Amino acid sequence: MRIVDVSPFLLKGDETYGSHTGAAEATDQGDWLLLVRVLTDDGVEGWSDVETLGPVAARVISGAGMGAMGFRTLRDELIGKDPLDVERLWDELYLATAYYGRRGVAMHCISAVDNCLWSIRAQVAGVDLATALGGRHRDRIPAYASTLFRQTPEENAAAAGRYVELGFGGVKFGWGGFGIDSVLDRENLAAIRDVLGPQRAMMTDPGWYIVDGDRPRARTRQETRQMLDVLAGFDPYWVEDFIHPETPAEYARFKDEFPQLRFAAGEQLATTWDFERLIAEGRIDVIQPDLSRCGGLTIARQITASSIAGGQEIVTHSWLSDLLHAYSLHYLATLIEAPWVEFNVAQSALSRGVVKSRMSLDADGMVAVPTGPGLGVEVDGVFVRRAAARATEAGS
Ligand SMILES: [Mg+2]
């Protein structure tokens, strides 16, 4: 079996990221979305979404490459290769892009291709993806609703109430200006905790930078300390990704100061080397690889071993379409412990539209791991073609 095509599908929407005052829901990246498809000569295809700068990533996959190793596109490297040679192809793609890649957009694209290849491997074996990854330990996983902080306590309470009504046992609010004004932070957290009650998990993601006036910057240690002090009063299940990703030892510093808090991080990282450093230096509690950015399933499987050795929970970051939800569910289904899957309740029209039938939450707050050969989620070709045509009209 050979790879005959590797294609980016750049999709254009008309929404933008953010929470909206007075609106029922926030929105993820609604302006652009990139899907990747790997096709074999037997007609088997794998699809993945990617959270990255889509218009640039499309060129990394199939733009004009250069001849030398280290400067190639993924397509140039992959055509004619055996798609079942998944781990070896990961190593080859790393080398093919080494001079301009190694992290960032090129690694996001490698992640998507790697996911596609795992999907193909599972389809060819005639098994679901979790089984192909090494063993399906469970068929359902508890989901937490993942969204952005709204501006006021009333809006946050209303949003939290909606997720409780839907059946979620945990809710994460993130970004949205949190961690700047401690008085407002306290009011917003109190409103959310009041609605969730003591029994439901409240995750918080303050983000690792703030916009000060009109300029982004990382928080000072004193600002971070003050923010954690406020959070500690509301029993968060975890506090996520509030440290500059290049300084993981800062997590350990704050862990010493706030031993009652659990820290989660990893969505910005890629490769096993990054995660090993996060675990060793940061001493965090929850590892959050994003399968569309960390290097894909091949890397996530290696992180599993590190987490087992270190005793950390793994809860993938998955704030994109149901394709990424499905990849995450299959991967989490292979772990010994899978306390949560992140469920993006802020999907834009683009994220919602790319699959034929959307995933839903069971009444008890669980989401089913897809069944059937491969990923078990089907891409809506008509929607994808329409959104791709809008991208072409937009000049990309
Ligand atoms: Mg986050």
pLDDT at residue 115 in the model: 98
Are 377 and 323 in contact by the 8 Å Cβ rule? The answer is yes
- Residues 200-216, mean pLDDT to the nearest whole number: 95
pLDDT digits (tens, 9 = 90+) for 314-356: 999 999 999 999 999 999 999 999 999 999 998 999 999 999 9
Residue whose C-alpha is closest to residue 295's, from 78, 77, 112, 95: 112
Q: How far does residue 24's CA lie from ligand 1's centre (Å)?
A: 21
Domain ranges, ordered by start, for the chain: 3-126+381-393, 132-368
CA of 176 to the centre of ligand 1 (A): 12
pLDDT tens for residues 104-117? 999 999 999 999 99
In Å, what is the CA distance from 79 to each residue of 39, 61, 102, 119, 374?
A: 10, 12, 21, 17, 21
Q: How many angstroms is it from 204 CA to the middle of ligand 1?
A: 9
pLDDT at 20 over 80: no
**Residue 196 confidence (pLDDT):** 98
Eight-state DSSP code of residue 290: -
pLDDT tens digits, 234-272: 999 999 999 999 999 999 999 999 999 999 999 999 999
3 CA to centre of ligand 1 in angstroms: 34
Query: What is d(CA 395, CA 387) in angstroms, rounded to the nearest whole number?
Result: 13
Contact yes or no for 164/192 (Cβ under 8 A): no
DSSP symbol at 2: -
Fold (CATH) for 132-368: TIM Barrel (3.20.20)
* pTM score over 0.85: yes
Ligand 1: centre distance to CA 267 (Å): 6
CATH of 3-126+381-393 among 3.30.390.10, 3.40.718.10, 1.10.1330.10, 3.40.50.1820: 3.30.390.10
The Å distance, Cα 186 to ligand 1 centre, comes to: 20
Q: How far apart are CA 309 and CA 86, in angstroms?
A: 25
Token pair, residue 359, equals 């995933």
48 Cα–ligand 1 center, Å: 20
Query: How far is ligand 1, taken at its centre, from the CA of residue 238, in Å?
Result: 11
Task: Give percent above pLDDT 70 in the chain.
Answer: 99
Tell me, in angstroms, the distance from the centre of ligand 1 to residue 174's CA. 7
Q: Could you tell me what percent of the chain has a pLDDT over 90?
A: 91
CA 92 to centroid of ligand 1, rounded, Å: 30
Q: How far apart are CA 286 and CA 237, in angstroms?
A: 10
Residues with CB under 5 A from ligand 1 (ion): 205, 241
C-alpha 300 to ligand 1 mean position (Å) = 17
Residue 218 Cα to ligand 1 middle (Å): 15
By C-alpha distance, which of 371, 328, 315, 294 is closest to 131?
371
DSSP 212-233: ETTEEEPPPHHHHHHHHHHHGG
How far does residue 386's CA lie from ligand 1's centre (Å)? 30
